[in-house]
Chains A and B, each alone.
Chain A
Amino acid sequence: MASRYDRAITVFSPDGHLFQVEYAQEAVKKGSTAVGIRGTDIVVLGVEKKSVAKLQDERTVRKICALDDHVCMAFAGLTADARVVINRARVECQSHKLTVEDPVTVEYITRFIATLKQKYTQSNGRRPFGISALIVGFDDDGIPRLYQTDPSGTYHAWKANAIGRSAKTVREFLEKNYTEDAIANDNEAIKLAIRALLEVVQSGGKNVELAIIRRNQPLKMFSAKEIELQVAEIEKEKEEAEKKKSKKTT
């Protein structure tokens, strides 16, 4: 049945599916994992970096992009689609600032991106954007926000979420480990993001990229050394926890 109703985006199947939108969600799963965590005073975005070819310039292979000084996003899926969406969002951020003399709220820009994606699920001859995005930032009121959009054009606010390959495994890890203690301070939130990623990243800490935004501060990308330090701390904590466990059993 699917093969007759998945040719054109504007066609519903008899049981109400928009197959092209569902297939676009499969395209998102082909991108590497991205995780977002909303702390009390910090928002964290962690992504699995793809290994860069020898002759490729690493700076041009970025999964985390700033949309404005106080908002940034990570995506998973088709690279070219992401570039188009990010460009439109950046223009909208500046246009909003010039018209209304206020920076965009995280919810506003998320709604803009989601509306853009939805338009492409309802036009003839166009296919949906094959990306999901995690959008984080602080509003003027100082409250941290994390939103997730998907190819269908829906968006929701989350406390923590993951997109891309093995997102389900990471989400289950977060459901178990996202507690008030885990986000008690900034460092704990950062460690939670890295631990969630390490569940599914194939080659350990060197393939993890991390970005944070603190209240009233611009986006900060972590260097490879800083990430290594965090990973080393996490491994030490794991060892200590295992030692305690074995002591309890003996």
Chain B
Amino acid sequence: MAATFFGEVVKAPCRAGTEDQEEEEDERRETAEDREVRRQLARKREVRLFRRQTKTSLEVSLLEKYPCSKFIIAIGNNAVAFLSSFVMNSGVWEEVGCAKLWNEWCRTTDTVHLSPTDAFCVFYHLKSNPSVFGSCPRRNMQVTVLTCRHVTDYKTAESTSSLHSPFLKALKTENFKEPPCCSLLEQPNIVHDLPAAVLSYCQVWKIPAILYLCYTDVMKLDLITVGAFKPVLSSRSLKGLVKNIPQSTEILKKLMTTNEIQSNIYT
């Protein structure tokens, strides 16, 4: 062990070779206990699909029977708030099912009583036009992904204080031929996590997909950040789904007040 100038303790490589070899051998031997722990972890990490109202589980094949022309996915609280208040308040959306999952990064260890703020995904489809939604890859389907990232993730030569955040950037797959509603993400155009996975999947399966990424300096639910998604309302994928904009703003304000999280660290 060695201590650095800054007080970190760093493990120095051991020069006594024999000591290391013995430790390694012990670690390589897997006991039955290790296997049991691994099995339990795998069971915990299974993704479960079910209907929220009836609490019955749903087979993936049942979801696949819904045909789909437009798939819209919102990731993160600001994108979800935008979708709920601007798109889902016009027309009747029926909940088809939801997916719950758990992994080691989740903050709760209880896998039975996951609250709505935990890893959660709900599938809705439009009653009047059931072709808007689906889960399996179809060639004539168009995918739209909405998400937020912190503005410090935006790679630019300027300093972040001179950027006018929040702002919208787009990233699309090769098959997406329509013009995006905002400028494309400049190089190095790197995205992370679920949006990246969805875009990669769509690129591989030649599905036209576009990701609208809002860079903001307020990661919690915020009116101005949600407002930055408004240009997306004019895109072809969302046109026809949005009817009442003033009412949407009211719904958004209500969402703000019900979802305020108390924190005393920052004032």
Contacts and interface: CB of A to CB of B under 8 A. Distances in A.
Interface of A: 7-8, 22, 25-27, 29-32, 50-51, 53, 61, 63, 75-80, 82, 125, 165-166, 168-169, 200, 202-203
Contact of B217 (A7, A26, A125): A26
Contacts of B218: 29, 165-166
Nearest to B262: A53
A202 B221 CA distance: 10
B213 to A, nearest CB: 19
B240 to A, nearest CB: 30
A78 B266 contact: yes
The 6 closest A-B pairs by CB, nearest first: A30-B266, A79-B267, A31-B266, A53-B262, A29-B217, A202-B256
A6 to B, nearest CB: 12
A51 B263 CA distance: 10
Contact of A32 (B6, B256, B267): B267
B113 interface: no
A7 B264 contact: no
A202 B253 contact: yes
B154 to A, nearest CB: 13
A238 to B, nearest CB: 16
A142 B165 CA distance: 39
Interface string B249-267: 0000100110010101111
Contact of B266 (A77, A125, A169, A200): A77
Contacts of B115: none
Contact of B267 (A26, A63, A203): A63
A25 B266 contact: no
Interface centre among B164, B253, B266 (most CB of A within 10 A): B266
A26 B257 contact: no
A100 to B, nearest CB: 32
B152 interface: yes
B257 A203 contact: yes
A64 to B, nearest CB: 11
A169 B267 contact: no
B267 A31 contact: yes
A79 B222 contact: no
A7 B266 contact: no
B223 A202 contact: yes
B265 A78 contact: yes
A178 to B, nearest CB: 20
A166 B216 CA distance: 10
B6 A27 contact: no
B114 interface: no
Interface in B81-114: none
B253 A203 contact: yes
A202 B6 CA distance: 42
B31 interface: no
